[in-house]
Amino acid sequence: MDYLELIKRQPPEKEALVEDGISFSYGDLVSLAQIQAEKYARTPTQRAVHVIKEKKISHQLVAFLACFLTQQIPLVVPWESEYFQRDASIMAGEVPEQACVAVATSGTSGTPKIYFRTYESWADYFPIQNKIFHIREDSRLFAQGSLSFTGNMNLYLALFYAGGTVIAENEFRPGDWAGRIRKQRANGIYLIPSKLHLLPRLIKHPNDQIKTIISGSQSLGRPEAESLKTIFPKAEIILYYGATELNYITYITDDMMTEQRNLIGKPFPKVDVSIRGEEIFVSTAYSVEGISCPYTLSDKGAMDASGNLYFLGRSDDILLHRGHKVSSMKVEHFLEGIAEVEEAAVCMAKSRRWREAQIVAYLVASSPHSITEQEVLSNLRHGLHRYELPRRIFFVDALPKNASGKVDKKQLRMLE
């Protein structure tokens, strides 16, 4: 079994994908995949990984499905990736016999690391995650972004498994989203929190057709959920914590959210989470090939007596400053708690004017000149230790993001 066969099981006339307003049925996807496979067949390979590097979601999806007709293993990578060449066939070490899909992470060194998944490692969990996310045959889920982000890929395939419809936008054009959501009769939304935060300002009238909002990769607390509920009053908001290597780990619904934005809920069914010295360990049968559970991503966390997980940051989120360990995530949460701050990112930076590296913060303000550097620091002094305060505050129009929507801190210094 593979994902092309999954698509073939759905009624061919049923709408599968609406990309930037253009509709594709399940039958269209199968036909386009067959045409694409004929092009791939001219380059004979044996169990090689086929690099899919396309701009448009439909092109990514068709190329992904075509690989199952040519015995290749699809790997969708960001269009802007400098590491991978378009349509290259690569041998990523020994390919597991049951491998169906390849996925890539950025890796601790910045060099992408390729993992392999069996069909069952995702598909066997679709019934469980679809029940939690309220994904059914009549689901019409609005989403934006590349399939190189495994969160998008997984959720699209889970929707196709259910026989639903993805309403996908290629470009980051929030001004178009409200109209698209209504015109395409979306009843669900899947966006990362930083994109969801834009919707209350863009949508002027409540939309009671949206029944589920799914989000992940970033923090989300009760204030943000309440803001979303003003425009989507009938929606249940679900925030998940997951990883490319492991699949879904924990989730929380809006009725359980608190002021603590790092609360990420309880484990998904059939997933075990434990804490060892503040490090999160996960056991699941739905991971990539070649890892052993309990497995750690080196993320830091804590669990309360009720079994709720609190995310304390990643190992590289800890900044060493003048003999103190500073959590950049903690500082970012305080910054984003300021009403005039939309987004924040914190890191260490060097300058010829400083004897040693200092903590700096990059902020996206809610409107130009709505708050000054001194006002930001005044707010922070109420909740942070002196050694946790940023030495400088830089106001930027936007924070650089990677394919998964996470802030790319390696590019932050270029914004000064």
Domain at 172-314: CATH code: 3.40.50.12780
How high is the pLDDT of residue 110? 59
Region of poorest pLDDT, from 44-48, 119-123, 240-244, 384-388: 44-48
**Where are the extended beta strands (E) located within 39-173?**
49-52, 73-76, 89-90, 99-105, 113-118, 140-144, 165-169
Give the span between the Cα atoms of 88 and 102, in whole angstroms: 14
| Dihedral pair phi/psi, residue 236, rounded to 5° | -95, 130
Give the separation between CA 393 and CA 344, rounded to whole angstroms.
Answer: 10
The percentage of the chain sitting over the pLDDT mark of 90, rounded to a whole number, equals: 64
Q: Is the pLDDT of residue 106 over 80?
A: no
Element (H, E) at 172: none
What six digits make up the tokens of 415? 């914004």
User: Beta 188-190 vs 140-144: how paired, if at all?
Assistant: parallel
Is pLDDT of 372 > 70?
A: yes
The CA distance from 138 to 185, in Å, is 11
pLDDT computed for residue 382 by the predictor: 87
Locate 57 and state its tokens: 């979601």
- For the ranges 38-52, 149-163, 175-189, 320-334, the lowest mean pLDDT is seen at 38-52
The superfamily (CATH) of domain 322-415 is ANL, C-terminal domain (3.30.300.30)
Domain-by-domain residue ranges, the chain? Answer: 172-314, 322-415
Q: How confident is the model at residue 41 (pLDDT cuts 50, 70, 90)?
A: low
Q: 75 and 150 in contact (C-beta within 8 Å)?
A: no
State the angle between helix axes of 373-380 and 328-336 in degrees (0 to 180), rounded to the nearest 10: 110
Over range 352-370, report the average pLDDT. Answer: 84
Higher-pLDDT residue of 4 and 46 is 4
Give the C-alpha separation, 19 to 13, whole Å.
Answer: 16
Give the pLDDT score at 95. 83
Residue 167 has pLDDT above 60, yes or no: yes
8 Å CB contact between 296 and 277: no
pLDDT for 60-90, tens place per residue?
Answer: 999 999 999 998 999 999 988 888 888 777 7
pLDDT tens track for 118-127: 999 999 999 9
Adjacent-strand bridge partners of 114: 104
Per-residue pLDDT band for 92 (boundaries 50, 70, 90) equals low
Q: Which residues of 142-161 are buried (b: 16+ CB within 10 A; e: fewer)?
A: bbbbbbbbbbbbbbbbbbbb
Confidence check: pLDDT of 299 > 70: yes
| pLDDT digit string, tens, across residues 7-22 | 999 999 999 999 999 9
Task: Report how far residue 129's alpha carbon sits from residue 352's, in angstroms, rounded to the nearest whole number.
Answer: 51
- At residue 274 the predicted structure's pLDDT band, cuts being 50, 70 and 90, is very high
